Amino acid sequence: MTNCQIGLVGAGTIGGGVVKILNKQKEFFATSLGLPLELKRIVDINADHFDKLPIGNTICSANADDILNDDDISIVIELIGGTTFAKELVINACNAGKHVVTANKALISEHGPEIFETAEKNGVSLFFEASVGGGMPAIKTIRESMIANEIISVETIINGTCNYILSQMTEKGLSFDSVLKTAQENGYAEADPALDIEGGDSGHKVSIMASLLYGGYVPYEKVHIEGITAITGDDIKFARKLGYTIKLLGIIKKLKDNYIDIRIHPAMLHNSHILASVSDVYNAVYIKGDAVGDILLYGRGAGEMPTASAVVSDVVDIARNIATDHRKRISMDYYRSSNELKVASISLITSRYYLCFSVSDEPMVFASIASVLGEHSISIASVIQNEEHSDDSVPIVILTHEAVEENLQDAVKEIERQSFIKAKTRIIRIEE
Amino acid sequence: MTNCQIGLVGAGTIGGGVVKILNKQKEFFATSLGLPLELKRIVDINADHFDKLPIGNTICSANADDILNDDDISIVIELIGGTTFAKELVINACNAGKHVVTANKALISEHGPEIFETAEKNGVSLFFEASVGGGMPAIKTIRESMIANEIISVETIINGTCNYILSQMTEKGLSFDSVLKTAQENGYAEADPALDIEGGDSGHKVSIMASLLYGGYVPYEKVHIEGITAITGDDIKFARKLGYTIKLLGIIKKLKDNYIDIRIHPAMLHNSHILASVSDVYNAVYIKGDAVGDILLYGRGAGEMPTASAVVSDVVDIARNIATDHRKRISMDYYRSSNELKVASISLITSRYYLCFSVSDEPMVFASIASVLGEHSISIASVIQNEEHSDDSVPIVILTHEAVEENLQDAVKEIERQSFIKAKTRIIRIEE
């Protein structure tokens, strides 16, 4: 084939990794695969980015139009992030008849229907493997390898920053704040960590997965999201004592009548759960299909080279299509805007719960709590009440049997009206 | 698109699973994916197989020519196994211009170059995801998702029968023979278990993976293969005492000068190794790439529905190509017969070793063994010598530091010439 020419917009961390891989593997792609890939142009508003990279003959500039107006370029890689200029760029690239590869989870999650329709209309591919799970092949496994399956459920640890923080809190007994500070110093957390620790990044990723899994579109804002900022060292200590590990978990389940259950929140996993041993910056996706049974994908979900590896795998997929005169293969498939999936309210789910009440040390407190729980059809599985306590409040930890979320929240609200309650009750769902 | 018509040869366990999935997902493939798949013909010499299946309007017969001669059929699924008639069928199907999907690892491993050349010549696809790891997407991950990587190493537990047997021996302290018998009764082992327990099945699978990973062909007979039949309850007991688990491990590593190290043998894995906790019938592939870092795939590597899930994913991939007038996408790629990879002799590898000598209880025995090991540049990391023993022989267990295989084998041969040796020495390689 003639050269397949590529334009890259965004030469930051991931973009730099892409440049390095395209340079290192150039000979392999050209001779072994028969796919000569040429990085013709790189655009970045920060010219410093070009200096550290093996640029060769690539033309560097600061204006994305240089790529859009270059008729030789058939594949545009978008790695600038954000949803304003990135969206405009992706739509313009599609309208210019160019295939697009992106790692932008916010863009796909929040504007999927519009950009996929634009790609479809122009007969170009829009690939986004790197948007979920970095180098782990989550998207390809869902949309190609498991296509013969009805997906029963997905459980996933999909944010490396949160998993690192919780792992360090668990292993070293450190507080949330001190681990976050170290993570920022080591580059495992952003200077502004909100998108990670408040769960938004995970929410984007599960909304993309659910949209692919269930033949429709799950808007980001329909995902129930709780981050890890409220998790205390005490919660982790109690969890360990009970044989559990606390993880920020993404959950997708198909319910009846085309409703889906989709949420991100801290969850207590029994130590025998396969995801309980996924530690540090590692990610994992645990998928149950009706035919294949359970499959686990595990790997580094972020970082320069893992993410760049996924970007380049999409570029090669498109180049293979171009090489065989096959302009477009798989774009919207079943990511259809017309079919917005119905998301079940979190109040209707059932789960087991960890409750940590902070109470004053006086008679009848436990009896009072137990009685309110009982009135709301919540039965108690186990209790930890320690004598040790530092101030005038005592923690009472209760693990419940399966209960309805709404009943649980009502019961806790009622208990919190009592004068013996000294601080906000901590609630963590338990996944078996 | 018009219907994509399929012919299935072999309606046994896996074939039955394929019929069930094509029936159950027919509506989903047709409406959500826009790929109407029709199972037009099934061929099996055993007509009883048809009775239990949701056949519908499918035409059943006993002669594979009925499929080869049917011009409507564009995809042939080969699920008869073996390498004689299956090879003839696959070659004839390619020559008739039909795409082929197969789960036949022996066929791909032993005759890969010939059948891929035939497919290439005829411009048809030949897909084989189900040949390695059942429902785990091992092939697609290697050839598509990790294409941007140089693969540093693969470690894999790829035979469910062996993993089940070793897991049961470990967890329940049972003997090899008694676990094999139970496994046969439960359908986890064949009536003739040789291909599984002697490592041949695993050998086929790693030869396929290595051929895809390193741009060449690794013939099955070049793979160093040791099965699990020599593993004793004592070995497992000693391994546990030392913090290790014994697994049948497949190893592929790229060495210098285009040599590769490829082998199947029992290995002691430290309990902290990610593969040490893969138990029962589960399989796993642990791949290290230069960009993506380490990735683990985990799932059911065999069985009716997991394997059928992989077969149907290949059928859908081909149907997607046909739907977009793209007859062939990816067949030989870098599985090239002209490029036979050089396999390093097992005698040149380095490893740590577990040695279990069976000796008579007399003075100077340990000193004599240690001195021979030392003369062959093998240093000792730890020793277990128990007082307890049932007959006139005593086990001496030694873990070595890193040593060259050839030196190790020479040393053991020399030690075995001594009169104090009472039985054959057991040697298991240790993977860190």
Assigned domain for B337 exists = no
Mean pLDDT value across residues B69-89: 97
Please tell me the number of Cα atoms within 13 Å of A391 on its side-chain side: 5
- Say if residue B319 is in the same domain as residue B185: no
Which residue on chain B is closest to A20 by alpha carbon? B291
- Angle at alpha carbon of residue A133, lines to A130 and A138, rounded to 5°: 85
Lowest mean pLDDT among A45-59, A119-133, B232-246, B326-340: B326-340
Assigned domain for B100 exists = yes
Dihedrals phi, psi of A308, to nearest 5 degrees: -60, -35
* Span A294-320, pLDDT tens digits: 999 999 988 899 999 999 999 999 998
Q: Cβ of B219: how many Cβ atoms within 10 Å?
A: 17
Q: Cβ of A106: how many Cβ atoms within 10 Å?
A: 19
- Say if residue B143 is in the same domain as residue B114: no
Number of domains in chain B: 3
Query: Chain B within 8 Å of A271 (Cβ-Cβ)?
Result: no
Mean pLDDT value across residues B248-277: 91
A292, burial (CB in 10 Å: exposed 0-12, middle 13-18, buried 19+): buried
**Which chain B residues are Cβ-neighbours of A150 within 8 angstroms?**
25
Mutate which of A33, A147, A341 to test chain B, going by most B C-beta atoms within 10 A? A147
Nearest CA-CA partner of A303 in A142, A189, A163: A189
Assigned domain for A335 exists = no
Dihedrals phi, psi of A134, to nearest 5 degrees: 50, -120
Predicted local distance difference test score (pLDDT) of residue A71: 96
Predicted local distance difference test score (pLDDT) of residue A251: 95
Cβ distance A320 to B297 less than 8 Å, yes or no, reads no
Residues whose CB is less than 8 angstroms from the CB of residue B391 and which lie 6 or more positions away in sequence, other chains included: none
Cβ distance B313 to A32 less than 8 Å, yes or no, reads no
**Token couple for A410:** 């009502």
Name residue B126's beta-bridge partners: B100
The average confidence (pLDDT) of chain B is: 91
CA distance A112 to A341: 14
- Say if residue A278 is in the same domain as residue A319: no
Where are the alpha helices (H) located in B302-404, listed in sequence order? 304-323, 365-375
Mean pLDDT value across residues B80-96: 97
* Span A265-276, pLDDT tens digits: 999 999 989 999
Statement: residue A332 has pLDDT above 50: no
| Residue B226 near residue B115 (C-beta atoms within 8 A) | no
In this structure, the dihedral spanned by the alpha carbons of residues A203, A206, A210 and A213, taken in order and rounded to 10 degrees, is 170
CA distance B274 to A47: 42
Predicted local distance difference test score (pLDDT) of residue B322: 83
Put simply, the chain A residues between 403 and 422 with a CB less than 8 A from any chain B CB are none
Between A53 and A337, the more confident residue is A53
Question: Residue B145 is nearest to which of A293, A305, A313, comparing CB atoms?
Answer: A313
Polymer length of chain B: 432
Q: In 3-state terms, what secondary structure has residue B98?
A: coil
Which residue on chain B is closest to A317 by alpha carbon? B144
- Say if residue A160 is in the same domain as residue A260: yes
How large is the angle between the packed helices A405-416 and A365-375, nearest 10 degrees?
A: 150
Mean pLDDT value across residues B122-141: 93
Statement: residue B216 has pLDDT above 90: no
Beta strands in B137-258 (DSSP E): 151-157, 224-225, 244-254
Query: Which pLDDT band, with edges at 50, 70 and 90, does A206 fall under?
Result: very high
* Span A109-134, pLDDT tens digits: 999 989 998 998 898 999 999 999 99
Query: Chain A within 8 Å of B160 (Cβ-Cβ)?
Result: no
- Say if residue A122 is in the same domain as residue A74: yes
Predicted local distance difference test score (pLDDT) of residue B432: 77
Predicted local distance difference test score (pLDDT) of residue B380: 95
B362, burial (CB in 10 Å: exposed 0-12, middle 13-18, buried 19+): exposed
Put simply, the chain B residues between 6 and 35 with a CB less than 8 A from any chain A CB are 17, 21, 25, 28, 32-33
Which residue, of B285, B300, B315, is where some domain finishes? B300
- Say if residue A286 is in the same domain as residue A310: no
Express as a percent the part of chain A with pLDDT over 90.
75
Lowest mean pLDDT among B321-325, B327-331, B339-343, B397-401: B327-331
- Start-to-end CA distance of chain A, whole Å, equals 52
DSSP letter at A220 equals: G
Assigned domain for B253 exists = yes
Query: Which pLDDT band, with edges at 50, 70 and 90, does B413 fall under?
Result: very high
Predicted local distance difference test score (pLDDT) of residue A387: 62
**What single-letter amino acid sits at B109?**
S
Which residue on chain A is closest to B31 by alpha carbon? A334
DSSP letter at A188 equals: S
Query: Which pLDDT band, with edges at 50, 70 and 90, does A331 fall under?
Result: very low
| Residue A246 near residue A233 (C-beta atoms within 8 A) | no
- Say if residue A172 is in the same domain as residue A111: no
Assigned domain for A162 exists = yes
Cβ distance B137 to A140 less than 8 Å, yes or no, reads yes
Between A21 and A190, the more confident residue is A21
Lowest mean pLDDT among B337-341, B342-346, B374-378, B421-425: B337-341
Question: Residue B300 is nearest to which of A17, A28, A292, comparing CB atoms?
Answer: A292
Mean pLDDT value across residues B358-375: 92
Between B326 and B416, the more confident residue is B416
Predicted local distance difference test score (pLDDT) of residue A333: 53
Assigned domain for A330 exists = no
Query: Which pLDDT band, with edges at 50, 70 and 90, does B334 fall under?
Result: very low
Between B180 and B188, the more confident residue is B180
Which residue, of B300, B315, B331, is where some domain finishes? B300
CATH number of domain containing A161: 3.30.360.10
Q: Which residues of B are catalytic?
A: 205
Question: Residue A145 is nearest to which of B137, B294, B324, comparing CB atoms?
Answer: B137
**Which chain B residues are Cβ-neighbours of A330 within 8 angstroms?**
320
| Residue A48 near residue A15 (C-beta atoms within 8 A) | no
Nearest CA-CA partner of B333 in B205, B181, B160, B213: B213
Mean pLDDT value across residues A187-214: 93
**Which chain B residues are Cβ-neighbours of A316 within 8 angstroms?**
144, 147-148
Question: Residue B291 is nearest to which of A129, A306, A316, comparing CB atoms?
Answer: A306
Residues whose CB is less than 8 angstroms from the CB of residue B247 and which lie 6 or more positions away in sequence, other chains included: B157, B163, B166, B266, B267, B269, B275, B276, B278
Nearest CA-CA partner of B153 in B101, B209, B111: B209
Assigned domain for B31 exists = yes
Please tell me the number of Cα atoms within 13 Å of B269 on its side-chain side: 23
- Say if residue B46 is in the same domain as residue B120: yes
CA distance A243 to A359: 24
Predicted local distance difference test score (pLDDT) of residue A407: 97
- Say if residue B173 is in the same domain as residue B292: yes
Which residue, of B290, B323, B356, is where some domain finishes? B323
Statement: residue A325 has pLDDT above 80: no
- Domain of residue A403: give its range: 347-431
Assigned domain for B227 exists = yes
Helix/strand number for chain B, H first, E second:
15, 18
Predicted local distance difference test score (pLDDT) of residue B332: 44
* Span B346-357, pLDDT tens digits: 898 899 999 999
The average confidence (pLDDT) of chain A is: 91
- Say if residue B113 is in the same domain as residue B126: yes
Query: Which pLDDT band, with edges at 50, 70 and 90, does A257 fall under?
Result: confident
Statement: residue B75 has pLDDT above 60: yes
CA distance A18 to A21: 5
Q: Which of A40, A87, A105, A205 is catalytic?
A: A205
CA distance A169 to A237: 9
Statement: residue A81 has pLDDT above 50: yes
Cβ distance A135 to B292 less than 8 Å, yes or no, reads yes
- Say if residue B177 is in the same domain as residue B226: yes
* Span A140-185, pLDDT tens digits: 999 899 999 999 999 999 999 999 999 999 999 999 999 999 989 9
CA distance A62 to B160: 55
**Which chain B residues are Cβ-neighbours of A277 within 8 angstroms?**
277
**Token couple for A289:** 């299909």
- Say if residue B24 is in the same domain as residue B95: yes
**Token couple for B330:** 């990816």
* Span A369-411, pLDDT tens digits: 999 999 999 999 999 887 666 667 889 999 999 999 999 999 9
Statement: residue B327 has pLDDT above 80: no
Predicted local distance difference test score (pLDDT) of residue A330: 46
Put simply, the chain B residues between 316 and 375 with a CB less than 8 A from any chain A CB are 316-317, 320-321, 324-326, 328-330, 333-334
Dihedrals phi, psi of A195, to nearest 5 degrees: -60, -35
Cβ distance B313 to A146 less than 8 Å, yes or no, reads yes
| Residue A228 near residue A266 (C-beta atoms within 8 A) | yes
Statement: residue B336 has pLDDT above 90: no
**Token couple for B368:** 């004599």
Query: Which pLDDT band, with edges at 50, 70 and 90, does A34 fall under?
Result: confident
**Which chain A residues are Cβ-neighbours of B303 within 8 angstroms?**
293
**Which chain B residues are Cβ-neighbours of A296 within 8 angstroms?**
296-299
CA distances from A206 to A110, A155, A225, A260, B18 (A): 12, 10, 11, 12, 30
| Residue A351 near residue A427 (C-beta atoms within 8 A) | no
CATH number of domain containing A22: 3.40.50.720
